[in-house]
């Protein structure tokens, strides 16, 4: 499929989401929030925290900040940061001496995230416009990379994982929540751009996903959490939400 066309469709959908809210895993019901958006009670956002609550657009499939082992003083990079919800969650952990940077390819999302940061008085966050396959971040500059239901939207996942490896410091690690497939997804479904923007048809098979991470150079890659995603599998294929972690060690 045409990578430029895919990105145009995805960018348009998430620009609209800034205005309307929504859930990437519910293409048939815009504005609806379902369990596959990470809206369950475990790790739920406090309604009293207005900034984080307003930054949560219901686009998640996990809570990678909870599993990432982020420490005070860390430099953290959030890929596909949207309106900033996971950036702000991580910012509470890294403290004044840390920095959490969000990267997103949708200008409207970056504008919303910066607005949220100003409202919340966050001094330890930054937001950059850019694509995951060409991150606007220096080599070996990050302690932790996180991402939440975004890599499935990237056409060139091999390049995305190579970029994550590039920007991590030796000894650093990633923690990603994402969507993978179960069974053989029909080619006709793969070509459905609406399903791609809904976090589905761009997902790859789980073993292939893990293989790309290993090929990028990551070690001790482990699935921390896994659960069915969306409706029950049909016609021999379905989807799964996973949270995976892996490390960049010295050669």
What are the domain boundaries of the chain? 3-247
Q: Is-contact 88 122, C-beta < 8 A?
A: yes
pLDDT attached to residue 90 = 96
- For the ranges 95-99, 103-107, 141-145, 191-195, the lowest mean pLDDT is seen at 191-195
**8-state DSSP, 37:** G
In this model, does residue 46 exceed pLDDT 90?
no
pLDDT attached to residue 21 = 64
Max mean pLDDT among 43-57, 84-98, 175-189 falls in 84-98
Q: With residue 179 as reference, give the H or E element that holds it.
A: strand 168-183
The residue with greater pLDDT, 6 or 171, is 171
What is the mean predicted confidence (pLDDT) over 107-133?
Answer: 95
Q: Which CATH superfamily is domain 3-247 in?
A: Vaccinia Virus protein VP39 (3.40.50.150)
pLDDT attached to residue 210 = 97
pLDDT band at 35 (very low <50, low <70, confident <90, very high): very low
What rounded mean pLDDT belongs to the chain? 86
In this model, does residue 17 exceed pLDDT 50?
yes
In this model, does residue 12 exceed pLDDT 70?
yes
Q: Is the pTM of this model over 0.75?
A: yes
Rg of the chain over all Cα atoms, to the nearest angstrom: 17
- Residue found by looking up tokens 């996903």 in the block: 209
Cα(105)–Cα(59) distance, rounded to whole angstroms?
15
User: Quick one: what percent of the chain has pLDDT higher than 90?
Assistant: 61
pLDDT attached to residue 188 = 84
pLDDT band at 156 (very low <50, low <70, confident <90, very high): very high
- For the ranges 43-47, 129-133, 171-175, the lowest mean pLDDT is seen at 43-47
Cα(117)–Cα(241) distance, rounded to whole angstroms?
29
What is the mean predicted confidence (pLDDT) over 155-176?
Answer: 97
**Exposure string for 192-216, b = 16+ CB within 10 A, e = fewer:** bbebbbbbbbbbbbbeebbebbeeb
pLDDT attached to residue 96 = 94
pLDDT in tens, 178-235: 999 988 888 888 888 888 888 888 899 999 999 999 999 999 999 999 998 876 656 7
């Amino acid at each position: 499929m045409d990578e430029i066309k895919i990105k145009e469709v995805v960018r348009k959908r998430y620009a609209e989401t800034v205005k309307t809210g929504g859930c990437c895993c519910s293409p048939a019901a815009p504005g609806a929030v379902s369990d596959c958006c990470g809206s369950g009670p475990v790790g739920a956002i406090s309604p009293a925290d207005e900034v984080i609550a307003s930054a949560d657009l219901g686009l998640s499939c996990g809570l990678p900040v909870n599993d990432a082992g982020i420490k005070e003083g860390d430099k953290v990079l959030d890929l596909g940061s949207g309106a900033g919800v996971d950036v702000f969650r991580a910012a509470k952990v890294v403290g004044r001496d840390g920095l959490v940077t969000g990267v997103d390819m949708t200008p409207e999302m970056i504008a919303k995230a910066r607005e949220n940061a100003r409202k919340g008085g966050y001094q330890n966050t930054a937001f950059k416009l850019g694509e995951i396959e060409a991150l606007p971040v220096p080599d070996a500059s990050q302690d932790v990379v996180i991402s939440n239901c975004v890599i499935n939207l990237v056409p060139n996942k091999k390049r995305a994982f190579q970029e994550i490896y590039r920007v991590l410091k030796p000894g650093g690690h990633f923690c990603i929540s994402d969507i993978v497939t179960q069974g053989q997804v029909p080619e006709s479904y793969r070509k459905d751009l609406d399903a791609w923007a809904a976090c589905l048809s761009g997902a790859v098979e789980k073993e292939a996903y893990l293989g790309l991470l290993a090929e990028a150079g990551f070690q001790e890659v482990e699935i921390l959490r896994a659960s069915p995603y969306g409706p029950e599998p049909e016609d021999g294929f379905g989807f799964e939400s996973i949270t995976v972690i892996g490390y960049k060690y010295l050669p």
